[in-house]
Amino acid sequence: MSVVFALATPPAKSAICVFRVSGDGCHSALSKVFSGDVFPPNGFSVETLRYKNKIIDRVGLVVFGAPKSYTGEDSFEIYAHGSLAVMSNIVDVFKGLGFEEAPGGEFTKRAFLNDKITLVEAEAVSDLIDSTDDRGVVLSNKTLFGELSSKVVSFGDEIDSLRVGVEAEIDFSDEDNDYFDSSLMLELSSLIERFGLFVGACISKRVGDEKNNIVLVGPVNSGKSSVFNRLLGFERAIVSSLPGTTRDMIGSELFYKSNSFSIFDTAGVRETSDVVEKQGIDISMSEVKNADLVLGIFEKNTPDQVNYFKNMCDEKSFVSVLNKSDLNKKEGSFDCFVSAKTGEGFSELKSIIENRFNSGVKDDGYDFLIKERHEKLFYSVLEDLEKAKANLSKKESLELVAEDLKNARSFLDEVVGKKFSDSLLGDIFSSFCIGK
């Protein structure tokens, strides 16, 4: 394979930037840009990067030797100052050395092709980078460290063992022997049950990506937008003393203790003749239906008003919040007292939010995070195993049983990448970030 390079850090001004280079023969280029002749693998050194009598930067250099590298090839990384000019110069250096710019996911793709990782483990790299909460990190790491691959391989070995037994039955039947090993049906039934439980313990990435929705509701001028901004840590919504300022729904992401939530500020609810404001209120009401948690924001201790919004939210989890605690007495049966102006009470409010979701998220019973393609392949495996069971019960259709088991095994091979097409690899790695 050709020598490729990529910037592995964002192309923006920063303390450092990291360039990754991989490919057979890349080590021979080191002596062309650094003063030394020997660069031992797995060693870190500080070198002056030069090219065509021009000093580029004083950089950190880490050299990796095949096959003990991420890609399984000779490779190295350069840690330079995060100047845009330095980045541009280093790109010119690598192009001058004949290196090619790596497309997204090229390094992980090479790791897969060089048998450093399975295909499902390669996909877990992308999932880990995309993780926005603790669950995503934990489940992605389980796959990355080979737990999912081991499960898949183990089930594949069981299918192979069953197929050997079935083919032995076929050989006996050719000798007009009435012998039939009834244990095969028991083993197949047990396999189907256990594989079904395994699939049930997997959560699809498309489902795992769905964030919990938090919606703020309340009367006009209760400080919803101020609470919204304070939760986010920056001004996302317009704040004004005029009633009816928020006329449309505003959404953003809230990160707290490695958890990610989608949070929405809505228009204050009141009787109004303003057509645009009324439209915003209608949108607010409809959005409540999609909420996993509703924060009712109030500026006064008005039980009737609190009950109105609580009843409006129906079965939704509801947290009543009295805002402006710097001006109001902390009285009433509110779940939390806060001041958007001073920040008082927001640590408690965030803890309440976390606890409301944790009761149903942390222990959800899922063992693995899988892609949609894995999910489809797993259900294809189950379908073929059920076909094999039906044909096995007939006894005279053993050749069909063997074929069903062969197909089931083939689908598992696709999961871990023992079978793949160039188009499949293109689809998988095109979604990866540059430099990984």
Q: Which CATH number do you get for residue 173?
A: 1.20.120.430
pLDDT bracket for residue 282 (50, 70, 90): low
pLDDT bracket for residue 74 (50, 70, 90): very high
Instruction: Give, in degrees to the nearest 5, the angle at Cα 323 between 218 and 321.
Output: 60
Least confident among 156-160, 303-307, 406-410? 303-307
3-state secondary structure the chain: CCCEEEECCCCCCEEEEEEEEECCCHHHHHHHHCCCCCCCCCEEEEEEEEECCEEEEEEEEEEECCCCCCCCCCEEEEEEEECHHHHHHHHHHHHHCCCEECCCCHHHHHHHHCCCCCHHHHHHHHHHHHCCCHHHHHHHHHHHCCHHHHHHHHHHHHHHHHHHHHHHHHHHHHCCCCCCCCHHHHHHHHHHHHHHHHHHCEEEHHHHCCCEEEEEECECCCCHHHHHHHHHCCCCCCCCCCCCCCCCCEEEEEEECCEEEEEEECCCECCCCCHHHHHHHHHHHHHHCCCCEEEEEECCCCHHHHHHHHHHCCCCEEEEEECCCCCCCCCCCCCEECCCCCCCCHHHHHHHHHHHHHHHHCCCCCCEEECHHHHHHHHHHHHHHHHHHHHHHHCCCHHHHHHHHHHHHHHHHHHHCCCCCHHHHHHHHCCCCCCC
What pLDDT does residue 388 have?
Answer: 93
pLDDT at 162 over 80: yes
Total number of residues shown for the chain: 436
| The total number of structural domains that make up the chain | 3
Gap between the Cα atoms of 132 and 285, Å rounded: 28
pLDDT at 239 over 70: no
What pLDDT does residue 366 have?
Answer: 75
Same domain, 277 and 309: yes
What pLDDT does residue 210 have?
Answer: 55
CB 116 within 8 A of CB 75: no
Higher-confidence residue of 315 and 417: namely: 417
User: Which residues are registered as beta bridge partners of 22?
Assistant: 4, 75
Instruction: Give, in degrees to the nearest 5, the angle at Cα 212 between 208 and 218.
Output: 170
What pLDDT does residue 271 have?
Answer: 47
What pLDDT does residue 308 have?
Answer: 82
- Residue 405 falls inside a structural domain: yes
Q: Write the CATH number for 334.
A: 3.40.50.300
Average pLDDT for residues 366-379, to the nearest whole number?
A: 90
pLDDT at 145 over 80: yes
| Per-residue pLDDT tens digits for 101-136 | 999 999 999 999 999 999 999 999 988 888 766 777
Look over the chain and give the mean of its residue pLDDT values, rounded to a whole number.
83
Average pLDDT for residues 61-75, to the nearest whole number?
A: 94
Same domain, 240 and 129: no
- Residue 265 falls inside a structural domain: yes
Same domain, 352 and 401: no
Non-local CB neighbours of 217 within 8 Å, separated by 6+ positions: 224, 266, 269, 284, 288, 294, 295, 296, 297, 309, 312, 313
Q: Which domain holds residue 29?
A: 4-113
What pLDDT does residue 16 have?
Answer: 94
CB 21 within 8 A of CB 5: yes
What pLDDT does residue 169 have?
Answer: 77
Q: Write the CATH number for 65.
A: 3.30.1360.120
CB 393 within 8 A of CB 420: no
- Residue 422 falls inside a structural domain: no
pLDDT at 258 over 70: no
What pLDDT does residue 147 have?
Answer: 93
Same domain, 276 and 394: no
Same domain, 229 and 322: yes
- Residue 426 falls inside a structural domain: no
Same domain, 187 and 103: no
What pLDDT does residue 236 have?
Answer: 43
pLDDT at 341 over 60: yes
What pLDDT does residue 150 have?
Answer: 94
Same domain, 60 and 103: yes
Same domain, 318 and 298: yes
Same domain, 356 and 373: no
User: Which residues are registered as beta bridge partners of 415?
Assistant: none
- Residue 408 falls inside a structural domain: yes
What pLDDT does residue 58 have?
Answer: 95
User: What are the structure tokens assigned to 52, written together?
Assistant: 């065509």
CB 239 within 8 A of CB 229: yes
Higher-confidence residue of 89 and 126: namely: 89
- Residue 428 falls inside a structural domain: no
Gap between the Cα atoms of 283 and 268, Å rounded: 11
| Per-residue pLDDT tens digits for 23-46 | 998 999 999 999 877 788 888 899
User: What are the structure tokens assigned to 118, written together?
Assistant: 């399975």
pLDDT at 91 over 90: yes
Gap between the Cα atoms of 283 and 293, Å rounded: 17
pTM above 0.75, yes or no: no
Same domain, 302 and 180: no
User: What are the structure tokens assigned to 297, written together?
Assistant: 């924001």
What pLDDT does residue 237 have?
Answer: 40
pLDDT bracket for residue 161 (50, 70, 90): very high
User: What are the structure tokens assigned to 375, written together?
Assistant: 């999910």
Q: What percent of the chain has pLDDT over 70?
A: 83
Same domain, 66 and 24: yes
- Residue 380 falls inside a structural domain: yes
Same domain, 397 and 336: no
- Residue 224 falls inside a structural domain: yes
What pLDDT does residue 330 have?
Answer: 77
